[in-house]
């Protein structure tokens, strides 16, 4: 075969394979050899195979060929923070996750292209999405013609009842952000912009009407009934000099805002404006009750505190919101909308100095899709359907036997945020990159699959060495959190721009199988087997876990059966990827040298902390996040928190170290030519075992096609 013939054949090979094979089986690169290297036994010698050419300048890379592909490639690059994207590049292989997929869907819809999160998961590439997207701009109707009335009383989502069930003090349970405000910002523009956001997003006007009920009763108030000015506080920060003084000011005002939250009264968000003067940028500290940033709003569930440093200085806006009204997805909607609304209001004010309180008349924000109330009604309806009730035996079996990490269970009066221990770990940048991108692609897995595999391996090693309770042979029962915005529950639903607490929490049992620790840290084959095993265990969860909360809190008959089960002692949550204005890790305080940031960029997160009397949710909790650094790379960070009455801090720190070692071993494993491969759920072969599939791959060299 001549070189020209080879080149011609390769040009036709890719479209031919894409016509006949599913996306995950199409090779990302093709290497032409005169002959395959063989071992003495006549099998392919994988270690002798040349490394495929991955350079993007090679012939394999395909750029956009028309306006539609160009638009989607641009959206991919924008959401993922990369310079360019080819039409065959996988969204998750580039570092995407489920929360970023929601952002992609939201931005596509703003551009007039209708996609679903499921489309992103199934197609993964621009080449796949361009054919399934709705380019008409008309969208897809939700709920079979049911009218979406966002205002009124309704049963809160399951996560709200979970929070109330813990007991103790939870009125200050919040999320908070500090954002930099531009120099010259006026209080009139800030108030007008916030008023526009408050009236646009129904979830921010939520309040609790019956906290004792199961499910908890909540209400969305009509637009205009929550006074925007009551959420905002301006603090004169012009005389605040020095890093230490600035940090102390931010912390003090954030805590004050947190203490002002009242879900029952409807006080769920507080904005604190640290105003440094009209010619300097400032900072906005946003503290939100978790019910708003991810669920329910009480009359004052948000507080804004503006730290004003004077007309020639930047400032800061501290936003404190009760968790009832916000979640991780909500912040990605709320902050850009606030920046857009305030900027528009400022322009309106400049054009008409007499606009006054009417300065928000020109603020037009992108429409919100499905409301919190409509979504909650559908979740409540599904809780009583035969399909959901049929899941009950599954959930009971998961919770039937628990491997404990501590001898006792939580006491809401003693095991609180005020008595908890905390420890943060960060993986090296290169290990983080491989874990967050290449590993997921090799195993056609999610980042959470990989992180949970490492946790299961670390827990088994930890207990085997006598640290913590003995056991783990039957796996570990954990509570997992997901974003809960599974739009498949309501065909046509669009939650990509809905502010609220939608989180789903559900138990899973993970068992990584037997593994010698030296093989784990060396990145041996046992690592790949563990990832495949855990991945399949998680895939077996019905409905991606959405049904557990329904049956536990929204159906009285099934709730009784689940209430008596022992809850998991371990909680795990992968928050996805976050970026701050400075490219630094979000800290618990915002420094005063924020000049390297950008206006309306996030300076810090979690500044308000939690009330010391708020009960812990688990004996041990792990919250992981992929943080983009100054160089644009990803760093995986995790915060470990625990009930210090029940667990020894030194032991938990050792467990965190073992988790990091396991992840490093996973990263090493990806350099093995035999790493990766399919699992039964990938191939839709429900009757085949993993061993049989592995053998089939060896015989047919399927993984050579997939990984080359």
Q: Is 624 helix (H, G, I), strand (E, B) or coil?
A: strand
Average pLDDT for 38-44: 74
Average pLDDT for 230-249: 83
Q: Is 618 helix (H, G, I), strand (E, B) or coil?
A: coil
- At 658-696, the pLDDT tens digits run 999 999 999 999 998 888 888 888 766 556 666 666 666
In this predicted structure, the answer to whether residue 705 has a pLDDT above a threshold of 50 is: no
Structure-token match 């489920």, residue found: 98
Spell 647-666 as b/e; 16+ CB within 10 A means b: beeebbebbbebbbbbbbbb
Number of H helices, E strands in the chain: 24, 16
In this predicted structure, the answer to whether residue 197 has a pLDDT above a threshold of 90 is: yes
Report which secondary-structure segment, H or E, holds 636: strand 634-643
C-alpha to C-alpha distances, 12 to 18, 52, 168, 233, 476, nearest whole angstrom = 10, 19, 65, 64, 48
| CA-wise closest residue to 487 among 120, 224, 53, 85 | 120
| CA-wise closest residue to 355 among 345, 365, 340, 364 | 345
The reported pLDDT for the residue numbered 678 is 80
For residue 692, the Cα-to-chain-centroid distance in whole angstroms is 34
Average pLDDT for 213-238: 86
Tell me the pLDDT band of 352, cut-offs 50, 70 and 90.
Answer: low
The reported pLDDT for the residue numbered 230 is 80
What is the CATH code for 148-352+370-382+588-617? 3.30.559.10
Quickly name the fold that domain 420-485+511-569+619-667 has: Chloramphenicol Acetyltransferase (3.30.559)
Q: What percent of the chain has pLDDT over 70?
A: 78
Average pLDDT for 286-303: 54
**What is the C-alpha separation between 393 and 583, in angstroms, rounded?**
46
Number of neighbouring beta carbons within 10 Å of residue 693? 19
Tell me the pLDDT band of 60, cut-offs 50, 70 and 90.
Answer: low
Q: Which of 254-268, 508-522, 567-581 has the highest average model confidence (pLDDT)?
A: 508-522
Number of neighbouring beta carbons within 10 Å of residue 680? 17
CATH 3.30.559.10 positions along the chain are 148-352+370-382+588-617
Q: Which of 42-51, 134-143, 463-472, 630-639 has the highest average model confidence (pLDDT)?
A: 630-639
The reported pLDDT for the residue numbered 65 is 86
Beta bridge partners of 317: 179, 306
Quickly name the fold that domain 3-32+50-132 has: 1.10.1200
The reported pLDDT for the residue numbered 529 is 95
For residue 106, the Cα-to-chain-centroid distance in whole angstroms is 15
- At 520-536, the pLDDT tens digits run 999 999 999 999 999 99
- At 406-453, the pLDDT tens digits run 999 999 999 999 999 999 999 999 999 999 988 988 898 999 999 999
- Backbone Cα Rg of the chain: 26
| CA-wise closest residue to 125 among 102, 98, 96 | 96
Q: Does residue 357 come out as left (phi exceeding 0), alpha (psi in the -120 to 50 range) or beta? A: alpha
Average pLDDT for 189-203: 93
Tell me the pLDDT band of 141, cut-offs 50, 70 and 90.
Answer: low
| 644, 412 contact by CB (below 8 A) | no
CATH 1.10.1200.10 positions along the chain are 3-32+50-132
More confident residue, 547 or 488: 547
**What is the C-alpha separation between 61 and 26, in angstroms, rounded?**
14
In this predicted structure, the answer to whether residue 631 has a pLDDT above a threshold of 50 is: yes
CATH 3.30.559.30 positions along the chain are 420-485+511-569+619-667
299 Cβ contact partners less than 8 Å away, ≥ 6 residues apart: 207, 221, 226, 262, 265, 266, 267, 268
The reported pLDDT for the residue numbered 644 is 98
The reported pLDDT for the residue numbered 52 is 52
In this predicted structure, the answer to whether residue 93 has a pLDDT above a threshold of 90 is: no
Please state which of the ranges 100-109, 212-221, 280-289 shows the lowest mean pLDDT: 280-289
In this predicted structure, the answer to whether residue 297 has a pLDDT above a threshold of 50 is: no
């Amino acid at each position: 075969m001549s070189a020209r013939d080879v080149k011609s054949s390769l040009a036709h090979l890719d479209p031919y394979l894409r016509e006949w094979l599913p996306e995950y089986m199409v090779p990302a690169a093709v290497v032409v050899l005169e002959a395959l290297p063989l071992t003495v036994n006549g099998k392919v010698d994988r270690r002798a195979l040349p490394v495929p050419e991955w350079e993007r300048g090679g012939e394999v890379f395909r750029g956009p060929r028309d306006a539609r592909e160009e638009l989607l490639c641009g959206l991919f690059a924008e959401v993922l923070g990369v310079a360019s994207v080819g039409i065959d590049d996988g969204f998750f292989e580039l570092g995407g996750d489920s929360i970023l997929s929601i952002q992609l869907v939201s931005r596509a819809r703003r551009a007039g292209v209708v996609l679903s999160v499921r489309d992103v998961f199934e197609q993964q590439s621009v080449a796949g999405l361009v054919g399934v997207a709705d380019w008409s701009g008309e969208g897809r109707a939700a709920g079979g013609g049911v009218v979406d009335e966002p205002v009124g009383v309704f049963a809160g989502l399951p996560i709200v009842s979970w929070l109330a069930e813990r007991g103790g003090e939870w009125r200050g349970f919040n999320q908070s952000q500090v954002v930099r405000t531009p120099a010259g910002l006026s209080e009139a523009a800030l108030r007008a912009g916030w008023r526009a956001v408050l009236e646009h997003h129904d979830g921010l006007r939520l309040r609790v009407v019956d906290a004792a009920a199961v499910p908890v009763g909540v209400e969305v108030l009509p637009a205009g009934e929550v006074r925007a000015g009551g959420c905002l506080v301006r603090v004169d920060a012009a005389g605040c000099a020095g890093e230490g003084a600035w940090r102390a000011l931010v912390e003090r005002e954030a805590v004050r805002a947190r203490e002002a939250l009242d879900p029952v009264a409807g006080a769920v968000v507080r904005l604190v404006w640290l105003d440094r003067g009209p010619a300097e940028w400032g900072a906005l500290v946003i503290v939100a009750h978790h019910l708003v940033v991810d669920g329910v709003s009480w009359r004052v569930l948000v507080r804004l505190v503006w730290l004003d440093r004077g007309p020639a200085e930047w400032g800061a806006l501290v936003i404190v919101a009760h968790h009832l009204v916000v979640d991780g997805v909500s912040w990605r909607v709320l902050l850009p909308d606030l920046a857009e609304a305030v900027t528009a209001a400022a322009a309106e004010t400049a054009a008409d100095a007499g606009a006054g309180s009417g300065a928000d008349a020109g603020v037009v924000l992108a429409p919100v899709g499905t409301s919190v109330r409509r979504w909650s009604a559908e979740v409540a309806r599904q809780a009583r359907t035969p399909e959901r009730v049929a899941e009950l035996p599954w959930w009971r079996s998961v919770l039937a036997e628990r491997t404990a990490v501590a001898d006792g269970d939580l006491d809401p009066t003693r095991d609180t945020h005020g008595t908890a221990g905390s420890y943060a770990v960060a993986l090296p940048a290169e290990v983080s990159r491989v874990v967050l991108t290449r590993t997921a692609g090799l195993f056609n897995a999610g980042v959470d699959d990989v992180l949970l595999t490492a946790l299961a391996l670390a827990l088994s090693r930890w207990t085997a060495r006598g640290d913590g309770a003995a056991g783990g042979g039957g796996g570990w029962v954990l509570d997992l959190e997901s974003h809960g915005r599974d739009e498949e529950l309501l065909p046509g639903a669009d939650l990509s721009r809905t502010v609220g607490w939608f989180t789903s929490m559900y138990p899973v049992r993970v068992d990584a199988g037997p593994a010698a620790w030296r093989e784990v840290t060396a990145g041996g084959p046992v690592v790949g087997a563990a990832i495949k095993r855990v991945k399949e265990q998680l895939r077996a969860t019905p409905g991606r876990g959405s049904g557990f909360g329904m049956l536990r809190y929204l159906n009285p008959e099934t709730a009784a059966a689940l209430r008596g089960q022992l809850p998991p002692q371990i909680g795990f949550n992968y928050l996805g990827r976050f970026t701050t204005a400075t490219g630094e890790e979000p800290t618990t305080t915002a420094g005063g040298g924020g000049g390297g940031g950008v206006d309306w960029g996030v300076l810090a997160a979690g500044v308000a902390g939690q009330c010391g009397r708020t009960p812990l949710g688990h004996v041990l909790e792990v919250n992981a996040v992929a943080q983009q650094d100054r160089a644009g790379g990803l760093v995986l960070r995790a915060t470990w928190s625990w009930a210090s009455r029940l667990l020894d801090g030194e032991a938990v720190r050792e467990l965190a170290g073992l988790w990091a070692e396991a992840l490093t071993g996973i990263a090493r494993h990806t350099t093995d030519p035999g790493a990766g491969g399919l699992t039964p759920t990938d191939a839709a072969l429900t009757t085949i075992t993993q061993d049989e599939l592995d053998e089939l791959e060896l015989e047919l060299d399927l993984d050579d096609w997939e990984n080359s």
